[in-house]
Amino acid sequence: MYAGTLSFDLLLGDVRSLKEKRSVVRPIVAELHRKYAVSVAEVGDQDLYRRATIGVAAVSGDAGHLTDLLDRCERWVAARPEVELLSVRRRFHGDHDD
């Protein structure tokens, strides 16, 4: 079994309130979940209206499939015109971990 996570640090575009932030972040979270069947949530910077941290997690029996899935999620977020992807942190956990 392999588990992988991504943590996206995002800079939001023309956002002036937390309400506007939600209108940008919620569709990204929902579409990642719908399109890629991953667990996803806003996991940080909830009190900052121009920044967001989104976490993605997935589990697979095949490391190659998991890598491909996380790559596709990363490319999809990077292509979003309403956000600037500042950084991505990727972690893998496999059978070899104790």
**CATH superfamily label, 2-94:** TT1725-like (3.30.70.1120)
Please give the Cα distance from 12 to 83 (Å, whole number): 5
Please give the Cα distance from 53 to 83 (Å, whole number): 11
Condensed to tens digits (0 to 9), the pLDDT of residues 55-98 reads 999 999 999 999 999 999 999 999 999 999 999 999 999 877 65
Contacts of 13 (CB under 8 A, 6+ apart): 24, 82, 83, 84
Please give the Cα distance from 76 to 28 (Å, whole number): 10
Condensed to tens digits (0 to 9), the pLDDT of residues 8-30 reads 999 998 899 999 999 999 999 99
